[in-house]
Chain A
Amino acid sequence: MERLKSVDELKALRSKLIAGSDPRVPTIVITAGTCGQASGANDLIRITKKELLARGLRDKIRLRITGCHGFCEMEPSVLVMPQGTFYPKLKIADMVRIIDAVAKGEVVEDLLAKDPETGKRIEKQNDIPFYKGQVRTILARSESVDPIRISDYIENGGYSALAKVLSSGNPKWVVDEIKASGLRGRGGAGFPTGLKWELLAKQRNGNGKFVVCNADEGDPGAYMDRSVLEGNPHSIIEGMIIGAYGTGATDGVIYVRNEYPLAIKHLIIALRQAHELGLLGKNILGSGFSFEVRMVRGAGAFVCGEETAMIKSIEGMAGEPTQRPPYPVEKGIEGKPTAINNVETWANVPVIINIGASEFAKIGTKGNSGTKIFSLVGKIKNTGLVEVPMGTTIEKIMYDIGGGAVSAKKIKGVQTGGPSGGCIPATLFNLPIDYESLAKAGSIMGSGGMIVMDEGTCMVDVARYFMNFLKDESCGKCYTCRKGTQRMFEILDDITKGQGTLESLDLLEELAVVVKDTTMCGLGQTAANPVLSTLRYFRDEYAEHILNKRCPAGVCKELVTYSINENCTGCMLCLKACPEEAITGKKKELHVIDMSKCIKCGACKSVCKFEAVDVK
């Protein structure tokens, strides 16, 4: 494609692309984000291409390979457009039947999703409970674009927001629109984006200004940004160009964690294609505005998601946070004004410009406008990415969209906000999800991770897990953070091993407060949150571990005993599975576990078909 020299040329290209594609031609959309590929989407793609070629159907059926659509539990899945038919959890043999059906304009009934309550088949994607409750402003766009084809993005309205902005010739209007929309940073802190841009715009131009996309998604269990980066990288690039125009930035940096190879690949391709078309670089679309974006890869440090540490990392040094003030908008990369925003924040920018600030502000609640993507994972039936308006209750996400508990065990709570967040017990599930409500309950929204926990999850073990993560990821500068996280982990470890005392619990709380108060950056300041929130709502579990040396959930290895109950049929499967030969028993006789040899690996429990192994 030739370099576009004006907004009109972009419009003409879009019209040409729309005219050249017949909307009535059916399209098979295969999700091939990281989760899709890991589940076998590549095989489906291969077989589809082969079949379409072999049957001469390449003009009759289109194949589109996209990023993640959000329903990770059902990967690999296929969507047939324009009907919107959804086929979940497919195998290679199923694919051939689907191609047959699409060619005839039919539907393969027995491959459709089933309604969990009635058992009836559901044809359309938007009728499935998981999708029905969502408002997929950002995620749905991944369905219509192949991330490595900029033509798909443009055909579907991509870069029209940029055209609108450049045609206005008014950078201040851009900042005002974002302010009026009420967009708050989606990275976790929720700082008003419009205000950040206004502060950046106020800084003197002429010496260089930076806008940065924070794609160092470090929270365990959170992968919303990965989905947007893999599935729709142009939305972020468009957002950054708009932001740069509004604030006077000259350079952009996308800081992406090295552990996202597919996202990096798609970003490199997208940046190159945008450059070739003249949407990046000098004199964008003939407007006189120039803007360059480069990609910087992380090196595996969670702390580099913190903005001052990220700036250090971009400059080539070790990621260590620095004191604020001065804030990055005043002194950032190389001492120049810098505004750092999260991937989801940037993805919302073209949406706001296209639908208008007041329309955007209508979604969500007062002070919390727009939608938010959450990664719903853990002990829940429908794991995946969920996009809902701000203010939706946790209950709705858990049960209406998430489908409820994955096993007979009841849901106990949900952990939000990753290692900086806290646990919200099931009794508070009627809370709306917004920045203030979650903070009052002792947690934070964070980047949107939601880890569901049931009665089989030990809350002390959860706190220990997060503290282990934080003590390894702390940069180590502040004494209280480095030593504090180590000591808090030590105490929690002792408690899970049955060596805790009530005094150590008091010491834990005292230390947690000091670490929170005295550490310089967000990692240390929020390090105590998992501990403090689990103590607030699940203190009884801590007491069980300390006073009775018992783990109610049956998780903490030192405190549980494995035994065989009367369900045992004497099949000898567990005997053979045990690596320590700790189980004795003859055929058809009740087996017995010798606890002195048992290493509590759980192999016996997983092979037993009669639920005869008890873990107490």
Chain B
Amino acid sequence: MITLYINDLPVQVEKGTTLLEAARFLGFPIPTLCSMEGLTPYGACRLCVVEIGEGPKAKLVSSCTYPAEEGLRVRTASSRVVKARKMILELLLASCPQSKIVQDLASAHEVRQQRFKQEYEDCIMCGLCTRMCEEQMMAKAIGFRGRGEKRSIGTPFDIRSEECRLCGGCIYVCPACQLRCTYAEPEKAICGGCANLSPPCIEKEKFDDMMCYMDPCVACEKETTTEKKAAR
């Protein structure tokens, strides 16, 4: 058994346990995108980073792949970690805004700005589909091709696969395909509609005709106060 300290709380785990499993065992929330129970950890999305070590040698590692070490000190929400998560979510919003999972994560981490050139890609290369196909469906029909900008997922030479059994597992696990954000407007990358943290209604033209179910709404409160001020 290995003893390590997560946010100063000691926890004993078996050899081979990852930091992510240990932290979740204690109940600490760590966001993940490319990690799924039943699939081997990959470490692509970098959202699960935690800070380990002390002093100048402290560094961030992906908790889903890092094995527990005796006496390790882990911080799951230090300022460095939080800044990193916010920037990663900003990058995700800048590339794949139509994924509801990405939008919800962004809302939960209070990401209110997206400062990059907006792109609309369908794939974040998290590798869940390839690992699902290989490890759970035992087909290995799709995989990664190329590197850097030219990285993509598909079948060898884009030839129709004989291994693919059309099971739909890849679509099932894909964070971009799973749930489409149906509210996000093309010009505005950040939605937050479902999580209700920054309601998009205030920028709608027909704002007055909208049925609002939030009480009180941050936006309405603001608007009403100005109106009230003007009326006075």
> Which residues on A are within 8 Å of B, measured CB to CB?
301, 303, 318-319, 323, 325-326, 471-480, 482-487, 490, 503-504, 507, 510-511, 513-514, 517-520
Residue of A nearest to B116 (CB): A487
Closest 5 CB pairs of A and B: A476-B151, A514-B87, A323-B65, A474-B148, A518-B46
A396, B182: Cα distance in complex, Å: 64
Looking at the assembled complex, report how far the CB atom of B49 sits from the nearest CB atom of chain A, in whole angstroms: 5
A326, B124: Cα distance in complex, Å: 27
**What sequence of 0s and 1s flags, for each residue 78-94 of chain B, a beta carbon within 8 Å of any chain A beta carbon?**
00100110011001101
Q: Is the pair A318, B116 in contact by a Cβ cutoff of 8 Å?
A: no
Looking at the assembled complex, report how far the CB atom of A464 sits from the nearest CB atom of chain B, in whole angstroms: 15
Contacts of A472 in B (CB 8 A): 147-150
Q: Is the pair A479, B91 in contact by a Cβ cutoff of 8 Å?
A: yes
Contacts of A319 in B (CB 8 A): 147
Task: With A323-B66, A476-B125, A514-B87 as known contacts, state yes or no: A486 contacts B149, CB within 8 Å.
Answer: yes
Q: Is the pair B43, A323 in contact by a Cβ cutoff of 8 Å?
A: yes
Looking at the assembled complex, report how far the CB atom of A171 sits from the nearest CB atom of chain B, in whole angstroms: 30
A26, B45: Cα distance in complex, Å: 65
A479, B33: Cα distance in complex, Å: 11
Contacts of B66 in A (CB 8 A): 323, 325
Residue of B nearest to A491 (CB): B116
Looking at the assembled complex, report how far the CB atom of B92 sits from the nearest CB atom of chain A, in whole angstroms: 7
Contacts of B146 in A (CB 8 A): 476
A433, B127: Cα distance in complex, Å: 42
Looking at the assembled complex, report how far the CB atom of B154 sits from the nearest CB atom of chain A, in whole angstroms: 14
Q: Which chain B residues (74-115) contact chain A, with CB distance < 8 Å?
A: 80, 83-84, 87-88, 91-92, 94-95, 115
A486, B147: Cα distance in complex, Å: 12
Residue of A nearest to B126 (CB): A479
For A483, A484, A511, the residue with the greatest tally of chain B CB atoms inside 10 Å of its CB is: A483
Q: Is the pair B151, A518 in contact by a Cβ cutoff of 8 Å?
A: no
> Which residues on B are within 8 Å of A, measured CB to CB?
42-46, 49, 59-62, 65-67, 69, 80, 83-84, 87-88, 91-92, 94-95, 115-117, 124-127, 144, 146-151
Q: Is the pair B87, A478 in contact by a Cβ cutoff of 8 Å?
A: no
Contacts of A480 in B (CB 8 A): 46, 84, 87-88, 91
Residue of B nearest to A511 (CB): B87
Pick the residue among B62, B67, B148 that contacts A482 (CB under 8 A): B148
A323, B44: Cα distance in complex, Å: 11
Q: Is the pair B148, A476 in contact by a Cβ cutoff of 8 Å?
A: yes
Q: Is the pair A478, B67 in contact by a Cβ cutoff of 8 Å?
A: no
Looking at the assembled complex, report how far the CB atom of A476 sits from the nearest CB atom of chain B, in whole angstroms: 4
A483, B95: Cα distance in complex, Å: 9
Pick the residue among A325, A471, A487, A514 that contacts B148 (CB under 8 A): A471
Q: Is the pair B60, A490 in contact by a Cβ cutoff of 8 Å?
A: no
Contacts of A326 in B (CB 8 A): 67
A435, B99: Cα distance in complex, Å: 45
What are 16 pairs between A and B in contact, CB < 8 Å? A303-B147, A318-B144, A318-B147, A323-B65, A475-B148, A478-B43, A479-B45, A479-B46, A479-B125, A482-B148, A482-B149, A482-B151, A487-B91, A518-B46, A518-B60, A518-B62
Contacts of A484 in B (CB 8 A): 91
Contacts of A485 in B (CB 8 A): 148
Q: Is the pair A517, B80 in contact by a Cβ cutoff of 8 Å?
A: yes
Residue of A nearest to B95 (CB): A483
Supply 16 further A-B pairs (C-beta < 8 A) apart from A480-B88, A504-B115.
A325-B69, A472-B149, A476-B144, A477-B125, A477-B127, A478-B46, A479-B88, A479-B124, A480-B87, A480-B91, A482-B151, A487-B116, A490-B116, A507-B116, A511-B87, A518-B62
Contacts of A503 in B (CB 8 A): 115
Q: Is the pair A518, B43 in contact by a Cβ cutoff of 8 Å?
A: no
Q: Is the pair B117, A325 in contact by a Cβ cutoff of 8 Å?
A: no
Residue of A nearest to B91 (CB): A483
Contacts of A483 in B (CB 8 A): 91, 94-95
Contacts of B84 in A (CB 8 A): 480, 514, 517-518
Looking at the assembled complex, report how far the CB atom of B75 sits from the nearest CB atom of chain A, in whole angstroms: 13
Residue of B nearest to A503 (CB): B115
Looking at the assembled complex, report how far the CB atom of A516 sits from the nearest CB atom of chain B, in whole angstroms: 9
A526, B150: Cα distance in complex, Å: 21
Residue of B nearest to A514 (CB): B87
Contacts of A471 in B (CB 8 A): 148-149
Looking at the assembled complex, report how far the CB atom of A241 sits from the nearest CB atom of chain B, in whole angstroms: 34
Contacts of B149 in A (CB 8 A): 471-472, 476, 482, 486
Pick the residue among A325, A473, A510, A518 that contacts B49 (CB under 8 A): A518
A318, B69: Cα distance in complex, Å: 29
Pick the residue among A476, A514, A518 that contacts B147 (CB under 8 A): A476
Contacts of B144 in A (CB 8 A): 318, 476
A319, B147: Cα distance in complex, Å: 9
Contacts of A490 in B (CB 8 A): 116-117
Contacts of B60 in A (CB 8 A): 517-518
Contacts of A517 in B (CB 8 A): 49, 59-60, 80, 84
Q: Is the pair A325, B147 in contact by a Cβ cutoff of 8 Å?
A: no
Contacts of A325 in B (CB 8 A): 66-67, 69
Looking at the assembled complex, report how far the CB atom of A312 sits from the nearest CB atom of chain B, in whole angstroms: 12
Looking at the assembled complex, report how far the CB atom of B84 sits from the nearest CB atom of chain A, in whole angstroms: 5
Contacts of A513 in B (CB 8 A): 83
Looking at the assembled complex, report how far the CB atom of A468 sits from the nearest CB atom of chain B, in whole angstroms: 10
Q: Is the pair B46, A519 in contact by a Cβ cutoff of 8 Å?
A: yes
Pick the residue among A476, A478, A487, A519 that contacts B94 (CB under 8 A): A487
Q: Is the pair A514, B83 in contact by a Cβ cutoff of 8 Å?
A: yes
Contacts of A475 in B (CB 8 A): 147-148, 151
A511, B146: Cα distance in complex, Å: 24
Looking at the assembled complex, report how far the CB atom of B6 sits from the nearest CB atom of chain A, in whole angstroms: 18
